[in-house]
Amino acid sequence: MRKVAVCCSVVICLSLFALSGCGKKSAGVRVLKLAHGLDTNHPVHKAMVFMAEKVAEKSAGRLRIDIYPSEQLGTERECIEQLQIGALDMTKTSSSPLESFIPQVKVLGLPYLFRDSEHYWRVLLGPIGKELLDAGQDVGLKGLCFYDAGARSFYTRNRLVNTPADLAGMKIRVQKSNMAIKMIEAMGASATPIDWGELYTSLQQGVVDGAENNPPSFYTSLHYEICKYYILDEHTRPPDVLLISTIVWNKLSPEFKTILQQAADESVTFQRQLWAEKEKENLQGVEKAGVTIIRPDKKPFREAVKSMWDEFDNTQIGELADRVKQVQ
């Protein structure tokens, strides 16, 4: 059974949330609500807890972040939409659902865009990453930082997969992302968008034959209880993105803006180290639980998605991808 997460802050009736609004001052304390869809054991959640602690420390308790995990305040898309109208202060989302809000972010969904983890971070912490974090301000979304979400790979209920041909006829859960859908279809499978919180049951009931995600998400979601094959083809590396509503950001004092950005930046360093540890530990954990880990030749997978790269030639996304590839 899926674990039921407990709110990281004091439990307050949702009806009172609606009446009180977001980012209000409480006894001289500015409170920001941060919602996301991950389990509390996930390293990205722990990074945000670390950030909240740093914010409290740096502000001497005058600025506080309350965190609501496990889709308590909505799915990723719903939380993004709440940010746009200022009904929610902050959220953590994968870059994939952001594609329909910020077109430039589609570049992060191109399969095999990054050569390795080092290349990935040189891009995200450099000018291109800064450009992408700032790209959503016109639609009410300001990026504060990227978190490592590792490489996404396939996992299946009961089918061994060594090449894209083995995916033929399978229904694979994807995020609500056009790039993810294109990728799955290029590999010969049927893409089925399903919200993260509904995926365990969908796998259990056979609504889908498999999904794709990084090792910590595969482990903390308990999907390994159902899916017994994990195929490390590492097709994409869409990062997680920490967002704040521009409505909320513009109302913060310069001091609080500085504190929040500094704490976010420090949490990235913390999260990268924690991620590396958990990724290895979680792979060992699912293997111990009986999951067969497959390390296929990636060349056939790269060739299968070449059509996606061709589609974006001479477009804004193609130009961004070329810039990414040029980063050394």
* pLDDT tens-place string over residues 272-311: 999 999 999 999 999 999 999 999 999 999 999 999 999 9
Last residue of a domain, one of 281, 296, 314: 281
Structural domain span for residue 205: 152-237+285-326
Same domain, 169 and 230: yes
Residue 187 lies in a domain: yes
Give yes or no for residue 52 having a pLDDT over 50: yes
Share of the chain above pLDDT 70, in %: 92
Same domain, 88 and 110: yes
Give yes or no for residue 227 having a pLDDT over 60: yes
pLDDT value at residue 17: 38
Same domain, 267 and 193: no
Is-above-0.85 flag for pTM?
Answer: yes
**Average of pLDDT values for 165-192?**
96
Q: Which of 303, 291, 309 is nearest to 164 (CA)?
A: 303
Same domain, 55 and 111: yes
Q: How confident is the model at residue 5 (pLDDT cuts 50, 70, 90)?
A: very low
Q: How confident is the model at residue 201 (pLDDT cuts 50, 70, 90)?
A: very high
Query: Sign of dihedral through CA atoms 244, 248, 250, 251?
Result: negative
Same domain, 210 and 86: no
**Mean pLDDT of the residues in the chain:** 92
Residue 294 is part of a domain; what is its CATH number?
3.40.190.170
Same domain, 270 and 187: no
Same domain, 94 and 120: yes
Give yes or no for residue 220 having a pLDDT over 80: yes
pLDDT value at residue 319: 97
Same domain, 230 and 247: no
Same domain, 311 and 162: yes
pLDDT value at residue 1: 38
Q: How confident is the model at residue 14 (pLDDT cuts 50, 70, 90)?
A: very low
Instruction: Say how many domains are in the chain.
Output: 2
Q: How confident is the model at residue 24 (pLDDT cuts 50, 70, 90)?
A: low
Q: Is 187 exposed, middle or buried (0-12, 13-18, 19+ CB in 10 A)?
A: buried
Measured distance CA(321)–CA(260) in Å, rounded: 30
pLDDT digits over 304-322, tens only? 999 999 999 999 999 999 9
Residue 2 lies in a domain: no
Same domain, 21 and 123: yes
Residue 4 lies in a domain: no
Same domain, 50 and 39: yes
Contact 36, 93 (CB under 8 A): yes
Contact 152, 214 (CB under 8 A): yes
Residue 221 lies in a domain: yes
Residue 8 lies in a domain: no
Residue 142 lies in a domain: yes
Residue 228 lies in a domain: yes
Residue 64 lies in a domain: yes
Last residue of a domain, one of 266, 281, 296: 281
Same domain, 77 and 199: no
Q: Which of 93, 112, 98 is nearest to 324 (CA)?
A: 112
Give yes or no for residue 10 having a pLDDT over 60: no
